[in-house]
Structure 1
Amino acid sequence: MKKWLRRIFWGFTAVLLLILLWAGGVILYEGWFGESSAQWTNVSFTDSDGTELRGYLAQPKEPGVYPGILLIHEWWGFNEGMTVLADALAAEGYVVLATDAYRGEVTGQVPRALYLRLSTPEEQVFNDVDAALAHLMSLDSVDTERLASMGFCFGGGHSLQLGMRQSESMALTILYYGTVVTNPDLLRPLTDGQPVLGIFGEEDASIPTADVLEFEAALNSLEIPNQITIYPGVGHAFLNEENYDEPGPAGEAWQQTLDFLAENFKE
């Protein structure tokens, strides 16, 4: 019996070691040879310290003054998918700045994404997102009285954080399956009149439905206008650049977002 237990233990240890070696190899390889998000950006700006930051700016074809949307990417980093969604929003009549919160780092591999998520200082992300918002507000084509933040996954959580941090500037907060805040005291800045749209998946293992309902209850306790929707039969990250305009939960969530924006940004 002990012999079999030892074999199981060492077999499990060997498998775990192989997984760790593979994950470490992915992280190191992409760190040295991986792509840069610069290939998908088209605008640069600086923060208060003069650090150059980058993003992707999408605008309606016709000149004019439009509501602005700050778009924040998933934990993969800024990739081509964000440009597709930014262009789609611009076609609806919004000036969209999709910001790069990882300063050029991007991946399509889970180990590297987890590494970037954990190793990028939160204060740096706050700084870079705030700088992106300042740049968006500086554009002549943007109506600074009609500004929204919108993000996915990692970006969804930071969209909510931006709404709380810069409540005096933001008119709307939109988060797709981002980390929620359930403490009413922390959410209180949103009472400045900033409606919230939250999109979540019923089968999302990373953001339990119970947490989403607690988030909704906290918003309601403060009388913050909100639409919190839990789409059945889908998990985390169910919307992307390939399905946002197709029938099904992703298309429905995207249309809900467009309706939310249009309703709150009427002239």
Structure 2
Amino acid sequence: MKLVLLLISFLFSPLLQAALHEENVEYRAGDTVMKGYLAWDDAKGAKQPGVLVVHEWWGLNEYARKRARMLADLGYTALAVDMYGGGKYSEHGKDAAAFMNSVTARAGLAQQRFEAARELLASRPNVDAAKIAAIGYCFGGSTVLNMARQGVDLAAVVSFHGNLATQTPAQPGKVKARVLVLNGAADGFVTAESIAAFKQEMDKAGADYRFVNYPGVIHGFTNPDADRLGKANDLAVAYDAEADRQSWAAMRELFSEVFKP
């Protein structure tokens, strides 16, 4: 009996030991200390694709960390990116707007901070540096789209309820990444004109993109805290469970294509 138990323990011990790993990481972008969050599951493989997760305008909060853990469960090493420095976040709209504006108002700063995070993720020993993608929510969605526009070396970018407008439209041949935009059709922050302009921009640039509109869905539809935060800050945002499910499935489908062995 003891021999049987020892054999079972030997056979299954790697599975029992394998678990989700989480790590708070510090890195630099210029003179600013950034505080990110890494998640991975070593049971999913020794060399994994990497995914950058760019937060909503609230900052690097628990929601961004949760998405990183969900990606780790799918077999990716995920880095929840700090775009504001020092790991700042707030649940107050005025603070969040100030954080966001401090980045967007300075030309090149968002890309510098994104590239620093990408470099950190690519340097991880369990990450396949040739297979890195990025996803983003709200401000983060706009950020990853802009990184694709700038030709950052990414396999794919996925924008969840992100702003589509830009001051630096993609130039022909510039976009390397597959682009997936997941949008609420009733999002008051994304106009029909901006959607049309985005599609025209992507077509002219020759980008490989897909745009998905979820009928009747408004801004923030992936975040279960959207209703609470919207009410507290008088913002037209709301969670939609079905759109959340469908958009995550669309992301998974794209990643299964771009990260084929």
Q: TM-score, normalised by structure 2?
A: 0.77
Q: Is 1:256 the equivalent of 2:250? A: yes
* Cα contact 2:148–2:175 (8 A) shared by 1: no
Q: Is 1:176 the equivalent of 2:170? A: no
The runs of 5 or more residues in structure 2 that have no matched partner are 1-21, 227-239
Pick aligned residue for 1:71 from 35, 53, 57: 53
Letter paired with 2:196: L
Give the superposition deviation at 1:143. Answer: 1.3
Residues 191, 154 of structure 1: alpha-carbon distance in 2 compared, 3 angstrom cutoff: closer
Give the superposition deviation at 1:182. Answer: 6.8
Q: Is 1:60 the equivalent of 2:41? A: yes
Cα offsets for 1:19-62 (capped at 9, x unmatched) = xxxxxxxxxxxxxxxxxxxxx97111223x46432101011232
Residues 141, 188 of structure 1: alpha-carbon distance in 2 compared, 3 angstrom cutoff: farther
* Cα contact 1:181–1:187 (8 A) shared by 2: no
Counterpart position of 2:129 = 144
Residues 59, 241 of structure 1: alpha-carbon distance in 2 compared, 3 angstrom cutoff: farther
Q: Distance in 2 between matches of 1:251 and 1:156?
A: 17
Cα offsets for 1:55-95 (capped at 9, x unmatched) = 01011232411111111101001100111110001111111
Give the superposition deviation at 1:163. Answer: 1.9
Q: Distance in 1 between matches of 2:184 and 2:171?
A: 22
Q: Distance in 2 between matches of 1:217 and 1:182?
A: 13
Cα offsets for 1:87-132 (capped at 9, x unmatched) = 0011111111111111132111112212222234444333221111
Calculate percent identity across the aligned residue pairs. 27
Alignment of 1:1-267 (within 5 A): 42-47=24-29, 49=30, 51-62=32-43, 63-103=45-85, 104-120=87-103, 121-122=105-106, 123-167=108-152, 169-181=153-165, 186-192=170-176, 194-240=177-223, 247-267=241-261
Cα offsets for 1:128-174 (capped at 9, x unmatched) = 2111111111112111221111111111111112223343x211121
Residues 223, 163 of structure 1: alpha-carbon distance in 2 compared, 3 angstrom cutoff: closer
Aligned-partner SS, 1:116: helix
* Cα contact 1:82–1:241 (8 A) shared by 2: no
Name segments (4+ residues, structure 1) moved above 6 Å: none
Counterpart position of 1:37 = none
The RMSD of aligned alpha carbons is 2.4
* Cα contact 1:89–1:96 (8 A) shared by 2: yes
The runs of 5 or more residues in structure 1 that have no matched partner are 1-39
Give the superposition deviation at 1:247. Answer: 5.0
More helix by share: 1
